[in-house]
């Protein structure tokens, strides 16, 4: 079995490779995500000024234990929609998606689909 620290090192290498190609601007900020074992974090960042424009996590949302993968996927989708609502309120519609070195599947895909359903375009 591969140790956890090695997996995270590999993810950071993939993340650097993605970040070399993806950058946020004023017109099109970057939607960046981070997945811990328990929670999801997402933020919309303007890389030119180095400012976080909108951020959200499911820390307050997931006080109850989420055991089944279906609940985790629903939570990620709801988080994406909530992020989109906050972004649209700040007049942000176009973003570039930074998957953070994670595979585009499961929670990452659900968050992206939820953000698209909420009104973000990427």
> What pLDDT, on a 0 to 100 scale, did the predictor assign at position 37?
85
Domain enclosing residue 42, as ranges: 4-118
- Print pLDDT tens along the chain (122 aa): 666 678 888 989 999 988 888 888 888 999 999 998 888 999 999 989 999 999 999 886 555 555 677 788 899 999 999 999 999 999 999 999 999 889 999 999 999 999 999 999 98
Q: Domain count for the chain, please give it.
A: 1
Burial string for 25-58 (b: 16+ CB within 10 Å, else e) reads eeebbbbbbebeeeebbbbbbbbeeeeebbebbb
pTM greater than 0.85: no
> What pLDDT, on a 0 to 100 scale, did the predictor assign at position 65?
58
CB of 34 within 8 A of CB of 45?
no
The CATH number covering residue 100 comes to: 3.30.420.100
CB of 89 within 8 A of CB of 56?
no
Task: In whole angstroms, give the CA distance from residue 59 to residue 108.
Answer: 16
CB of 94 within 8 A of CB of 4?
no
* DSSP letter assigned to residue 57: E
Task: In whole angstroms, give the CA distance from residue 95 to residue 37.
Answer: 26
């Amino acid at each position: 079995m591969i140790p956890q620290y090695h997996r995270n090192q590999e993810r950071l290498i993939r993340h650097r490779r993605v970040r070399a190609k993806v950058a946020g601007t004023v017109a099109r900020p970057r939607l960046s995500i981070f997945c811990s074992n328990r929670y999801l974090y997402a933020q919309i960042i303007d890389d030119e000024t180095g400012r976080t424009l909108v951020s959200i996590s499911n820390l307050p949302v997931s006080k109850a234990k989420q055991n089944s993968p279906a609940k985790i996927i629903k939570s990620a989708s709801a988080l994406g929609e909530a992020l989109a609502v906050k972004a649209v309120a700040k007049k942000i519609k176009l973003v570039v998606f930074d998957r953070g070195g994670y595979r585009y599947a499961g929670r990452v895909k659900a968050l992206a689909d939820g953000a698209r359903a909420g009104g973000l375009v990427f």
